[in-house]
Structure 1
């Protein structure tokens, strides 16, 4: 006779076996779940239950990319995408020294110069939305390749512009294309490297962008001070045209280098190209000198919300549905915060960045003209040396060595600071608060301090808010779903360029008449941004 305990044990065993079968069925059925659907409510333990064959395990994307490791592929991708962002910075901001070089050849007046200098900002504003859509629907790598190659060709042709109007149109086209690099590069890097190095890599890439001023000023000094002129019939080939060709080269280098890397595996998983994503992860693991006999991942899921997208939508509906979720809960507050930070940083930083050669030249002239013991401060130094009569003016395309040294000092110091803070990359929120507060206090101190050299050094401190650009783009990767990440970053580029365009024109209009007020306003904006930084998500310590 069978005891009641034995019967109970048998029932429990059958129940347990049935439960295990259900769990395994659920695990296998995960493959059938739409890749864009949220699975955050599923018990995470289901993903960790393995059958007798370990290949049946389903990995989250975070696990899969971390298993791909960090090695030669990740470092090579960092170098290549850093080249793309440097090329973008050189093409956009280096245009200011090209314009100064062509002023004499084209006989530019103030209004024509202003139109030319506005083109690098107008182009990215117009193309921000299309690049966001292409990045999210066609891929990060594909959008970057198209942008960099075509921009390289257009920038090269622009060096042979017969007049300033053609030059303005071609610069509008080239910068509207290469502006894709600022969003696509950060997104591709953020989705293609292990989590433990992602924040550090993105800050390193920003440090390379910080060096763009020193890069193009040093090249411009060497080329613009050459003395040659070759008559080619329609145009005369002079040093500024050679400079334009030299500044276009990094675009080609970036495009060529990108050919040797893969599409974002996370993007591929998101558009249901799972097998291709796994194959790319395996290649990345191999090029990273991955540990073990083979890459273990066979199946991947995206453990995130907000990736729902209709497949039968028309083009206009798709364009609309791509941007609307960014400005609706639960993404609305994230968008407000990040775009506010973007507007503050670019309106204050890029405006002074564009005017930096002019301000540095005026400061150097004032310093040389004054007695050694005179102390007036930055604003009086700048404003006091702007009166130049027509008789004293001589059109020249050369560059002073003092600007080169000032630019190199800015570039090297920023790179060193950025490399130091990469050790604290996991403390993004704390870094945002510290950097924005320091930049604000430096802006205020630049006009309060009367010592000439100290006030100019504090002007450098104002520009340190540029270090927050990399942090902002890590938040774009962290806080948005994969389906909308490229669009969010590209809208960020549009906000950045609109803010920069406004800042450049406001600064140009008032820096000579209300210099002190301009620095106070910049400092106040950054203090507000520092306060808003306290509302960012808490930092997550990396193991």
Structure 2
């Protein structure tokens, strides 16, 4: 027969429990807990949360919307400063009497700056903080970009733009990291895709602003220089950099970065502030945080070179190596093809409008013939007469940019509803883009071919999906470096795509499109090896 507990031991046990609850009753109430837990209730365990649990408790409200708006402003500011520089060069071509070589040097400055500074920004983001790196980068970029409006010579303009884009390029990666680490898993994917849709509208934004400013006729003599429309355009396009930098003063550092840096108290304060701004009811329930993240290494005080080594080498060693290769490959596909699209876009618009305006003239049939027709016409014109100096922006080009921007944003917002299915989205984007690219060369109708050419830009929708993997697949200690190295790959791929596709598309058009299609279809195959989607119920 089992031994029975003596009566006096049961009475003693109950008495101790009652006494213990009476002593801690007020402490439980002050901490926001009820005093009716059963005996043996572990209050410390109840107050300890993982980071994901704590950020989920902080809710999704006003703070998250403000953060999303600020990060969206920062990333479109980067787009305007880097890619909007192309219309600034157009406006400055007459003022500085630029030849083709000088224009090429100027247009390469944004790519050169972002490529060289991508690695340092990754290190700064992972060691000093996401918010701090953004604040420094956007502030300096705004000042230098504004100063470039008063450049007395094209070389001064080139140097200042190199410096400006070197700093603002930080926004490409740090915005995704800061936003992704400050929101709950439930909304993170959708927010990242929404922010990407804003970036995709950047092309239409700077074309519209340029149309309103460059077509104006004014001139003010300032002594050393003449203030004309392109200088005003430079100042206006730099404004979002300053606006986003000021907005960052009112936002918090990534709580995940703080926790990873052994600053648990500061991380708790940030999450509590998010809780309060989101107007959650009751007392803040989290008292202790744990990161609970596989493969993560907390930041330590080590010498600079050793720290640099620790931030970089793990990305190219198992278990992170395979993921790094996949993401870099997908990034190269997106940026090489989409950047080439933006370069050829204005020329194709002019060709389409020209053929529609002259219906009695037999024009080229199909996209490749249109491109060949444009190239031969340009070559003939350059041999027979000097090309006129043009500083304005055509309304049809702006209209096409707006249509493209609205379509891209609408699709991005639509797929943001499927943000929890990133792998499915990635496969679909690369598959559709590859098939459209192959179909482009087989269509002889000019308008249909031009619409299919727009379909090639569909691959650009993969930016948000791929960069969300930079947030998800890497531990906090390496996330900033991985994303910034991804930006380096993006800029190198964009520069390579513009030059390679631009060089071969006029002489081997069909082959170029088939190679691009195969390249994008290979992206669909690689996407199949991405981690399975985790659908949150």
Pick from 461, 474, 479 the counterpart of residue 468 of structure 2: 474
Deviations 1:398-438 (A, max 9, x none): 11111011000000000111111111111110111111111
Distance (Å, rounded) in 2 between the aligned partners of 1:50 and 1:458: 68
CA contact (8 A) 1:375 1:451 kept: no
* Partner residue, 2:438: 444
* Partner residue, 2:391: 397
CA contact (8 A) 1:366 1:385 kept: no
Deviations 1:456-507 (A, max 9, x none): 1111110011111111111111110000000000000000001111111112
Distance (Å, rounded) in 2 between the aligned partners of 1:288 and 1:391: 64
Distance (Å, rounded) in 1 between the aligned partners of 2:275 and 2:259: 17
Deviations 1:56-114 (A, max 9, x none): 53101100000000001001100110000000011111111111111111111111111
Distance (Å, rounded) in 1 between the aligned partners of 2:311 and 2:244: 28
1:515 aligns with 2:509: yes
Distance (Å, rounded) in 2 between the aligned partners of 1:541 and 1:521: 35
Distance change (3 Å), C-alpha of 1:10 and 1:174: farther
Pick from 53, 58, 67 the counterpart of residue 68 of structure 1: 58
1:130 aligns with 2:120: yes
SS at match of 2:3: helix
1:514 is displaced (CA, Å) by 2.2
Distance change (3 Å), C-alpha of 1:447 and 1:61: same
Distance change (3 Å), C-alpha of 1:293 and 1:344: same
CA contact (8 A) 1:156 1:244 kept: yes
1:442 is displaced (CA, Å) by 1.5
Q: How does 1:6-85 map to 2 (within 5 A)?
A: 6=4, 51-53=41-43, 57-85=47-75
1:508 is displaced (CA, Å) by 2.6
1:519 is displaced (CA, Å) by 1.7
Distance change (3 Å), C-alpha of 1:8 and 1:269: farther
* Partner residue, 1:344: 333
Distance change (3 Å), C-alpha of 1:10 and 1:215: farther
Aligned residue pairs, count: 505
Provide the alpha-carbon RMSD of the alignment: 2.2
* Partner residue, 2:178: 188
Between 108-117 and 183-192, the greater mean CA deviation after superposition: 108-117
Q: How does 1:114-125 map to 2 (within 5 A)?
A: 114-125=104-115
Deviations 1:204-254 (A, max 9, x none): 000000000000000001111001111111111111111111111111111
1:329 aligns with 2:327: no
Distance (Å, rounded) in 2 between the aligned partners of 1:395 and 1:525: 38
Pick from 248, 253, 276 the counterpart of residue 266 of structure 2: 276
Deviations 1:161-187 (A, max 9, x none): 111111111111111110100100000
* Partner residue, 2:16: none
CA contact (8 A) 2:366 2:441 kept: yes
* Partner residue, 1:38: none
Distance (Å, rounded) in 2 between the aligned partners of 1:50 and 1:394: 86
1:375 is displaced (CA, Å) by 6.1
1:4 is displaced (CA, Å) by 4.8
Distance (Å, rounded) in 2 between the aligned partners of 1:71 and 1:434: 31
Pick from 524, 530, 533 the counterpart of residue 530 of structure 1: 524
SS at match of 1:106: coil
Pick from 78, 81, 94 the counterpart of residue 104 of structure 1: 94
CA contact (8 A) 1:367 1:381 kept: no
* Partner residue, 2:163: 173
Distance (Å, rounded) in 2 between the aligned partners of 1:97 and 1:345: 23
Distance change (3 Å), C-alpha of 1:134 and 1:339: same
* Partner residue, 1:318: 307
SS at match of 1:59: strand
1:511 is displaced (CA, Å) by 2.5
CA contact (8 A) 1:188 1:264 kept: yes
Deviations 1:6-38 (A, max 9, x none): 279999xxxxxxxxxxxxxxxxxxxxxxxxxxx
Distance (Å, rounded) in 2 between the aligned partners of 1:10 and 1:524: 82
TM-score when normalising by structure 1: 0.89
Distance (Å, rounded) in 1 between the aligned partners of 2:89 and 2:275: 46
* Partner residue, 2:256: 266
CA contact (8 A) 1:262 1:280 kept: yes
CA contact (8 A) 1:96 1:354 kept: no
Distance (Å, rounded) in 1 between the aligned partners of 2:8 and 2:471: 51
Pick from 3, 13, 25 the counterpart of residue 5 of structure 1: 3
1:55 is displaced (CA, Å) by 7.3
1:286 is displaced (CA, Å) by 0.9
Between 442-451 and 280-289, the greater mean CA deviation after superposition: 442-451
1:90 aligns with 2:80: yes
* Partner residue, 1:359: 348
Distance change (3 Å), C-alpha of 1:315 and 1:347: same
CA contact (8 A) 1:344 1:526 kept: yes
Distance (Å, rounded) in 2 between the aligned partners of 1:318 and 1:10: 63
TM-score when normalising by structure 2: 0.90
SS at match of 1:346: helix
* Partner residue, 1:428: 422
5+ unaligned residues in a row in structure 2: which ranges?
Answer: 10-38
1:502 aligns with 2:500: no
Distance (Å, rounded) in 1 between the aligned partners of 2:86 and 2:466: 26
CA contact (8 A) 2:260 2:298 kept: no
1:344 is displaced (CA, Å) by 0.9
Distance change (3 Å), C-alpha of 1:508 and 1:296: same
* Partner residue, 1:300: 289
SS at match of 1:6: coil
Pick from 231, 238, 257 the counterpart of residue 248 of structure 1: 238
5+ unaligned residues in a row in structure 1: which ranges?
Answer: 12-48
* Partner residue, 2:14: none
Distance (Å, rounded) in 1 between the aligned partners of 2:235 and 2:314: 42
